[in-house]
Amino acid sequence: MPEQLDVAVDGVTLRVRVWPAVDAARRPVVLLPATGETAEDWDGIASSLHPSRTVYAVSLRGHGSSDWPGHYSIHAMADDVTGLLMQLDDRPVDLVGHSLGGLVACAIASAHPELVHRLVLEDVGVPHARPAAAPPRPPGALPFDWRVVEQVRPEIDDPDPRWADVVARIAAPTLVIAGGPSSPVPQEHVAELVRTVPDGRLVTVEAGHLVHARRPEEFTRHVLTFLDA
């Protein structure tokens, strides 16, 4: 079972699930989930990664047992995780992000290259403007603050035009695992990200947007091959 760790960063406490490695010689891996998902979403993948490295799965602000401060943006989440990384290890980490977590990971790797050794993005493309269509709130209690959707979705529907420049400044070798044509993420935008990042490579797993959930063994194999290269 993973350990639970609460880390305070500039007034926000993040809940982190930790799988300590038996042999911690390899760099730690930090996993960032998608909108609405918590650190627990990574349990299966973390269990496969941790025998050879320490794994940290993070619940972003507004999710799970992390603080729900009411203010949400990709920039704020990136600042939170940047502060977290500075406390976790004195080495650059291998950073893995899915969907929103992948955009957060891109922002961190671009602004703080000293913190990220290798970057893995699950079905993430360069953001482009799209028709705004905020989803309705599901009924009942949620494991995350619905204001995350209300505040972050507009950033994704009408993105900052400088996103391509952010991606172009990523120094870490980057693997993008695309979900294929059944994903709602335009795959041409995923390919654009791979072309834009200075050291990028692309693999496609025909699983839609939830690659690590639907094809965990294949996802893990691609991640470990890349991280161990």
CA distance 187 to 144: 28
Q: What is the structure's pLDDT at 192?
A: 98
Mean pLDDT of the chain: 96
CA distance 172 to 145: 32
**Residues of the domain holding 136:** 3-227
pLDDT in tens, 87-126: 998 899 999 999 999 999 999 999 999 999 999 999 999 9
Tokens representing residue 210 in the block: 């939830």
Beta strands 12-19 and 3-9, pairing class: antiparallel
Confidence of residue 133 (pLDDT cuts 50, 70, 90): confident
Half-sphere exposure of 184 (CA within 13 A, CB side): 3
CATH number assigned to the domain comprising residue 88: 3.40.50.1820
Q: Is the pLDDT of residue 51 over 90?
A: no
Q: pTM higher than 0.95, yes or no?
A: yes
* Cβ-count burial 24-51 (b if 16+ within 10 Å, e if not): eeebbbbbbbbbbbbbbbbbebbebbbe
Report the domain count for the chain.
1
Other C-beta atoms within 10 Å of 77: how many? 27
Q: What is the structure's pLDDT at 1?
A: 84
Q: Which of 25 and 121 is assigned the larger pLDDT?
A: 121
CA distance 166 to 226: 22
